[in-house]
Structure 1
């Protein structure tokens, strides 16, 4: 290493032909212009603190980058797969119903018959109420004096106060909080033109229920009339946020439909609070049970009504199926929708005013345990086997009083259905299908549901003629409900 001071002109080139020793002379002559400094090069000491900070920042940056990349991939992977036409494998959705976790009150010193789940629960409930009612006047010694003193004070220990009532309703609402987070508002939007050729949006709105989640898709049960043949579907969640929905499937017999929502289009905060509906068992529902109607029982959204079950003995007959109805004393609109929830917060019925009993103006629901199979079929977009028969069961007792043979009495046959094409008529009594005796409408439903398209059902029926009932055979080819 050297330091040079001076001008460029001071440097002279070596003349050609100069002899040996020129270099020494040049160096000697330039002593005044060149100074040589001797230096020792040492390695710079390692700054351990700086390296540790670098390693820490590298790890933190890598972890942050990985987390961001994971979120971005999760958000955009489904959309990218759809754009590129890649198929995303969907797991089959299985819906389960039941109140296995619901504690069943058991009266002390009583034996409960296990003949059936429904009867046992009813007997427990009624017996406990009776025992409490009968035992309430009986207290320990000296109670008469206490009761007399309380009466003199104008109050009783068991009197129901406003605070007690408020607490009771508050507890019921709190138990239904999970189900409320699964309730959405579904809006079907169509663009129409008025008489002045001006475009306007026509909006129809009903309640929907989130019944499943699979591969970033939310599956929402709603009414077919609102979401079919519309330009767009808008879903409004419990916190007011909205997302676009897509029509998936429908069942014309019940009027139910399923739409889907990509959870990636929902804000992370809302998505973390969304729940799938907790499905209970409608087999455990009995008369006088308290229930809540959530959704739009009165025709407008985000409402809650309280009442009791008035009947569980009525049924709704549709093509190839029969469903139990739960009727209540809750006032409802003809356009009402939503769900019935028991005091444990479990959904026990889907409100469907299409099947209401009489002109009562109260809320009627299809029992969840009866329609869970249909909901699973709609959610998985499976085909629905169909023959087109609507019927009622003729029991042994009815047969003895009316003379009609035991079996499923055909009350209606759908036009151009497989049953009509096979020759089945109204008032025929189906007694056997594929060698199995029909003892209930559900027997026939199970056989049809287990069939595939173009399967043949060999049906034996009794048809009334001039000389009484005679057996006739039919071969019905199963179709798929459109």
Structure 2
């Protein structure tokens, strides 16, 4: 049997006297603390970098992975034109109503009803109920009224800076789900460095200017819904824009809401005294509503009917000298397209003409062409620079015929600043009218 390899070798040396003891390496506390501190500091730096990276990149990834749908553009439904009733129609209706009432009364003991009505005495409580009902309508409209405050920095004689502010009433005209859109007089925010809006519950938020119209002096500002609490959003409403061109409005009761007497939150009642006056503003045919409501020359806000619908934006700058304190407003019907453009940030074209529509009977009697009759051109306006004169009659714009000033204004509203349009003009000559094609380079009627 073969020997083991160890057996072939010599006997190993005795190692019993060797002993080994493992000694633990001493701890360097300073070095350990330094490494711990460095590790802790690097962890903080990494956390901060990761946090900022997430904050900056999260919106990008969120927009890429979950793109939000853009808000719908602001629009208002078109009104159905309701023609004024003729006297014959009014009498016919009255006769029909009277006949129905007579039949009803005969069938229900007319004498007893007449006696009951005659015996009833109206009291102060009835008047109180009526006024309370009007107040309820005003309060309902008031939930869409806001106070717009313009804040600007100024300096006094000793070079000490301070803040000055002015305010006016505005009205919420639209809500696209992400922002509220508010109409306010441009004069109230013209020199503002910041704009603050106070809502019905007293809460405040910053606003930004969308666009301002230089013709009417009205602006639209916006407030982000996310800047308001849920409680405030539940209390705020969007106004219902009614109609200022709905038959005969003269004599109808109205409510002035906002600051008609120059004090925020004030309310006044009255009736419409006239509605057919056309404001002499360029490139427009806005109508003026006047009332018997005595207010402040600095008044602002809205006129509302008894259904709580806004029918006019208060503007005291068009009052005559003898009625300077009577509340007047620009009719809401013609303002709706303007509000759409301003809310959507769509700049409006400016041509700079004043005009009117000549009545049909005068057109026939004096053999005048149908179209937009120009009464005045603004100094330095695109119309004047192009050579359009008072007395000219615009019959077409870019080849599309227009038979009235209103049609021309509607067509102009579809144009944009810097557009070059061709206007067909008929100008009176000694014997007849001559036709001219004039190119006009439009400018802008809005700014932001």
Q: Same fold (TM over 0.5)?
A: yes
Spell out the pairing of 1:352-363 with structure 2 (5 A cutoff): 352-356=315-319, 359-360=322-323, 361-363=325-327
Q: Which runs of 5+ in 2 are unaligned?
A: 1-15, 17-54
Larger displacement relative to structure 2 (129-138 or 443-452): 129-138
- Report what 1:92 is aligned to: 72
- Report what 1:301 is aligned to: 264
Distance between the aligned counterparts of 1:99 and 1:178, measured in 2?
23
Distance between the aligned counterparts of 2:91 and 2:224, measured in 1?
47
- Contact 2:149 2:197 (8 Å CA) reproduced: yes
- Report what 2:186 is aligned to: 224
- Contact 1:98 1:280 (8 Å CA) reproduced: no
- Contact 2:314 2:327 (8 Å CA) reproduced: yes
- Report what 1:340 is aligned to: 303
- Contact 1:98 1:281 (8 Å CA) reproduced: no
The one of 108, 111, 117 equivalent to 2:82 is 117
Distance between the aligned counterparts of 1:201 and 1:124, measured in 2?
61
- Report what 2:372 is aligned to: 408
Distance between the aligned counterparts of 2:268 and 2:86, measured in 1?
25
Post-superposition CA distance 1:192-213 (Å, at most 9, x none): 2233434333221111011122
- Contact 2:259 2:265 (8 Å CA) reproduced: yes
Aligned residues: 384
Distance between the aligned counterparts of 1:401 and 1:235, measured in 2?
56
Distance between the aligned counterparts of 1:321 and 1:478, measured in 2?
15
Distance between the aligned counterparts of 1:342 and 1:407, measured in 2?
35
CA RMSD of aligned residues (A): 3.7
Q: Which secondary structure does the structure 1 equivalent of 2:280 belong to?
A: strand
- Contact 2:373 2:405 (8 Å CA) reproduced: no
Distance between the aligned counterparts of 1:359 and 1:167, measured in 2?
35
Q: Which runs of 5+ in 1 are unaligned?
A: 1-15, 17-76, 101-115
- Contact 2:348 2:415 (8 Å CA) reproduced: no
Distance between the aligned counterparts of 1:165 and 1:98, measured in 2?
37
Distance between the aligned counterparts of 2:93 and 2:209, measured in 1?
48
User: TM-score by structure 1 length?
Assistant: 0.69
Asked whether 1:278 is paired with 2:243, we answer no
- Report what 2:219 is aligned to: 257
- Report what 1:472 is aligned to: 436
Change (3 A) 1:129 1:440: same
- Report what 1:163 is aligned to: 125
Q: Which secondary structure does the structure 2 equivalent of 1:313 belong to?
A: strand
Change (3 A) 1:174 1:384: same
Distance between the aligned counterparts of 1:137 and 1:163, measured in 2?
31
Q: CA deviation at 1:466?
A: 5.2
- Report what 1:323 is aligned to: 286
Runs of 4+ in 1 over 6 A off after TM superposition: 84-88, 121-139, 141-147
Change (3 A) 1:424 1:238: same
Asked whether 1:206 is paired with 2:168, we answer yes
User: TM-score by structure 2 length?
Assistant: 0.74
Change (3 A) 1:428 1:128: same
Asked whether 1:392 is paired with 2:356, we answer yes
Q: Which secondary structure does the structure 1 equivalent of 2:423 belong to?
A: strand
Q: CA deviation at 1:264?
A: 2.3
Spell out the pairing of 1:45-84 with structure 2 (5 A cutoff): none
Q: CA deviation at 1:235?
A: 0.8
- Report what 1:438 is aligned to: 402
Larger displacement relative to structure 2 (396-405 or 327-336): 396-405
